[in-house]
Structure formats: structure tokens, C-alpha cells
Chains A and B, each alone.
Chain A
Amino acid sequence: MRPLHNLTAREQILLAACVAACIVFAIVSPYFGTIDNANTILRNSVELLLIGLGMTLLMAMGAIDVSIGIVLGVAAIVVGQSLLHGFHPLVVTMSGPIVGAILGIVTAVVVVLGRVPAIVGTLGLLGVYRAVIYFALGGQWLSGLPRDLTTIVTRSVFGIPVTYWVIVLVYFCVWIALRRTPFGLHLLATGGSEEKARLSGLSVIKIKFAAFVVSGALAGLAATFYVATYRNVEMTIGTTLALDAVAAVVLGGTRIQGGRCSLIGTMLGVLLLRILQNGLLLIGVPSLWQPVITGSLLIAVLSLEAIAGRFFNPKLSFGAKT
């Protein structure tokens, strides 16, 4: 999309951080620098790449969805069940995005039409969806699902698995929508200042509604890939995905107040997170530390941003908010 020298400073730093992390881990651990492991990292990034794209749209307009990981869970159950019942592959594949979009509509109704702050509304929905997952699974894992879906997504086209073609396609669609259509411009305007966007005659409600539905549909698509890869659905599905997505989006240089975002930055942020998680696991850090590390990274980046912002902008007084 953009050549390397066209990346912003933030994106170049992220790319350098990814490369540096790879080099360090490859030196420390003999298992890190193998083709197999690279495949594992890419494989583990698929869901987060898709959810990250949706979260970028949400955060670009100053919203957030902390229930997104559990939305993936609910959609995964539907995909798994339709797989078990032996529906047509097309139905199975599409059930994920459709369920995701429906849940996105639910979120949008609560948050956008109900004018409830996104964080509180989605936190409430998180509790509801958790109960739904428990009800649907009945306390047991959905496991040993048929291979039908797996063979579809791992089939190679021109030497690259279908999964990655889908990600490239989705990335391209989101990029076009964000950078080449009025919708993208309006979304960023809404994030910059909702009041001004409304006064300029934009239908802020429609824009926000659409963004939530797209984000839900992407989480549902991620659920399809999740089921295809792991062929089971567990009770704790998606619990840390929302934090990972927020961290990746913030790392990528999207402004948390909204109004500015970077899709390529989010992609690099996802890769950096997954490289760190994989590498730390290989050098013997227990996986229980992962949320601690992701959270600390998020705090560190935001703090550095805040301090740097004050340093380069003397007009801002101590503690002032932009």
C-alpha cells in the first residue's frame, strides 16, 4: 500500500521494534528463529489482526468495545454448532460474520442509540455475553469439531493459505473505506469532535452505528478462523482479546481521544504483541504474565506519548488534557 519510506515515524519505530524483538529472541532461544515458529506467530495473530482493524475504527471515533473478545466467543459457538450439524460450508463460514454483525447491532443500539458511554455499555454487555456463552456451552467445551472448515482455510492459493488472502482483502476493504470514501473522513471527523461533526451536518449516529456493526462482523469473521484452526470452543474464549486489541491499536499510533488512526500501525502493533508473547513463552516466562506485560506496555507507550507531547508542545500546562 505505502512504500517503506512513507511510513510515519511511529510505524517505523514499531517495525524496528518487531525486528529487534525477533533478533533478540532468536539469539536467546534456539526455537524462536524457525520457519515453524514464524508460522505459529502469524497463525496466532489472525484473530487479533481482524479484531484490531475493527477496534481501530472504533477508537478512531473515540469509542471502545471491551466485549469484543466475548463477541468472538459467542460467534465461535454458533460456527461450531453449525459445523457439528453438518450445514453447507458456505453457511458455516458465513454464520460467524453474520452473528458478529448482529451482536454489533446490539452493541450499537445500546451505545449509539441509547447514548450510553461505550466503556460502560460494552462492560455490561460483556457480563451478558459471558452468561450466554455459559448457557450455550452448558459448562463443557465444544471440542473435536469436524475438519471441514480447517481444510477450507488452510488450502493454498498461489502458495499462500486462504486465511492470509482473507486478511489482505479485509485490510484492503477497511483501508479503502477509511481513506478513499466519505465514510472514512466522516468517521475521523466524528472522532476529532463529535459536536463539530454533527453541526457540520454529518449523521453522527449513522456513522457510529456502522462502525460498531463492522467491528462486530470482523470479530465474527475472526471466530470462523478461530474454530477452523483450533477446532474447539472453551469457556474462557476471548477473555484477553479486548486488551490485546486496545494495546495493539494504541501501539500503532491511533489517538485514544479519536480523530487519527493508523491501520498499518495496528497491524504492526498486533505482530509486535504476538512476537513478544511467543518469544517470552519460549524463553520460559509463564503465560500468566502475558496480561501484565501487555498492560505495562500499553501504560508505558501512553505515558511516553503524554510526556513527549508535553515536551514538544510547551503551550500545554502540567496535567492539561489535549
Chain B
Amino acid sequence: MNILRLVNQTQLVAVFLIALWIILLVGLAMLKPAALNPNMVTSVLQFSTILALVSLGQSLVILAGGAGIDLSVGGTVSLSAILGMLLLKAGVPAALLPVICIVSGLLLGMGNGILVTRLGIKPLIATLATFFVYSGLALALTRGAAQPGVPDLMLNWGRGITFGIPLPFLTLVIPAFLTVGIILTTTAWGRWIYAIGANELSTKLVGIPVDRTRFILYSISGGLAGTAGFVTLAWLGSGRPNVGQNLELESLTAAMLGGFAIFGGRGNIVGVFAAVILLVTLKTALLQMNVNTVWQLGIVGVLLISVLLLDQLSQRSR
């Protein structure tokens, strides 16, 4: 019966998101028909890559409950990209660039994990502090200047397109979502994550290592943010210290829109995937109509609040 409700919920979220998406596309078609072309699909997917990776990590952290949240994702993206470029400048072989970015992201995520699970600091305060430390470090280490000099080979990958799909999306986002989806639905470890989010005390009593699982999830979130940091390098051609700006807000919105419960234990990554595409389509459409990026921030904020309010209302009426 529980699973039946889960399926219904997922379908409901999917229908809701697709409806919103169609409204958005129809609106764009009426206001600016020239913007609707195959190139738009490519550009939406290109822009989605970073948000999709970060939102996946954010969703996993939220799913495991315990007021879990990762506000530091944006800072992690910026700092891992900057660390990669700074080490490259210091003489580390260029081939190691992706490894450096991913590992530094992983380490930053582990930092969050230690603060939250080992020291028992509230996730929101711990990751708020690390957000300022990480994003501040990215700015302070570079004095705010972009770090150029990404190798051509990586640029070819980062800007490459096959059959209209950007290579980073094809080689990172799709495998990442498939892997996480399979882990969440078919393995015991994946079911643990749902269980921990749904009822922490019972899972502790049956012997599931709650803290270790959450620690791993914070690390994964950091690792995915580090991967996103590498994608920004390969795509933009330089390490920008503010590249991860506002990602915490956008990834939270994607997770909430995608049907994840803020208190954990409920959600499906298919919804997150759809929500990311919807958000990026919205941003691209606004960009096409020359709306300032600050407005996008406002709209994302309104979306986040309304989704949360709707979710609370539907929970109460059940």
C-alpha cells in the first residue's frame, strides 16, 4: 500500500512538471517563436548539466532526513574548479585536472559530513558556515579573477555535441542519474536511505548505520559538486570563482519541485531530473526574452516557496 502511494506521488509530480513545462513552451512559442528551435534543446541540456549533478547530490542529502541539507554546494563547485586551475598552474599534469576537481569536491563534502555526523552540528548551520568558507576561499585565493588555461582536449569534450546532445550531459548526467536510480530502487543500501529519512529512530534500532550512511551521502554530494566544477572548467574554458553562485537555491528548488520531501524519506530522482530540465528551460526562455538574471533568482525563490507551501497543504489535507 505504501509503495502504491509512492508510485502515485511520483506520477503526480511528473504530470505536474510536464504540465508546467508545456505551459512554459507554449508561452515562449507565443511570445518569441524564433527561440523555439533544435538549438534550444542543446543549450538547455548544456546548461542543465551543472544543475543536474548538484541537484542529485542535494536530493540525496535531503532524502536521508535528519534536517539534512547541503547549502555549501555552490561554494564546493567554485572552490573545486579554482583548486583544479591553481594546481594546474602550479605544475600538476593537465591530465589530472578532472581527478583534482572531483577529489577536492569529495574532500569538501567529507568536511560537511564530519561536521554533521561526527560532531552532531545542525546541518543547516554547518553547511551555511562551510558555504561561506568554500565560496570565500574561491574568491580570496584568486582575488576574484578568472583563471584561464584549460587544456584544449577538455574544451573539446566540454563543448562537444553528438546528435544534438552535449557530451558532458551524455557522459556524466545520464550515467550518474541511472546509477543513483538503480542504487536507490534495487539495492538494500538504497532502501536504507529512504528508511533513515522516514524514521531515524527505527532504523537505528534495527542496526542500520545512520551516521555512516549520511556521511557517505554528504561526501557524494561534494563529489558531484566537484564533478560539476570540472564541467564548468571544460565548458567555460576558465575557472571562475563565482561560478557556483545561487546553486544552493536552485538545487533546493529542483529537489523540492521534483517531489522530495524537505523532512526526508520521500522522493524520486526522476522528478528531480524533470525539475532540473523545467528550471533550466525557464531560465533559457527568460534569457531569450532578455530578462535580467536577478529576476530569474526571484522567480526561482517564488517557485521554491510555493512548492513548499503546496506540499505542506497536501500533507495536511491527507
Contact = CB atoms under 8 A, between A and B. Distances in A.
A26 to B, nearest CB: 25
Contacts of A125: 301, 305
Contacts of A306: 119-121
B184 interface: no
A177 interface: no
Interface string B288-305: 000010110111111011
Interface string B260-272: 0011000000000
B262 A320 contact: no
Contacts, number: 143
A320 B120 contact: yes
Interface string A205-222: 000000000000000000
Contacts of A307: 119
B202 interface: no
Interface string A245-258: 01100100000110
Nearest to A297: B129
Given A125-B305, A295-B129, A286 B298 contact: no
A320 B197 CA distance: 17
A4 B69 CA distance: 40
Interface of B: 67, 69, 71, 115, 117-122, 124-126, 128-133, 135-137, 139-140, 143-144, 211, 246, 248-249, 252-253, 256, 262-263, 292, 294-295, 297-302, 304-305, 308-309, 312
Interface residues of A, number: 49
Contact of A288 (B124, B143, B312): B143
Count chain A CB atoms within 10 A of each CB in B115, B129, B263 and give the residue with the most.
Answer: B129
A306 B295 CA distance: 41
Contact of B132 (A243, A302, A303): A243
B304 A124 contact: yes
26 contacts: A110-B305, A119-B71, A119-B124, A119-B128, A124-B253, A126-B301, A128-B302, A130-B294, A130-B297, A131-B301, A134-B294, A134-B295, A139-B292, A256-B121, A256-B125, A286-B143, A288-B136, A291-B132, A292-B137, A295-B131, A295-B136, A298-B125, A302-B115, A307-B119, A318-B118, A319-B117
A161 interface: no
Nearest to A299: B129
A114 B309 CA distance: 6
A296 B133 contact: yes
Contacts of A289: 136, 140
B122 A257 contact: yes
Contacts of B133: 291-292, 295-296, 299
B262 A120 contact: yes
Given A286-B140, A289-B140, A294-B132, A124 B249 contact: yes
A116 interface: yes
B263 to A, nearest CB: 8
A275 interface: no
Given A120-B252, A240-B132, A250 B305 contact: no
Nearest to A250: B125
Contacts of B295: 131, 134-135
A261 to B, nearest CB: 15
B75 to A, nearest CB: 9
Contact of A303 (B121, B135, B249): B121
A144 interface: no
A173 to B, nearest CB: 27
Contacts of B294: 130-131, 134
B302 to A, nearest CB: 6
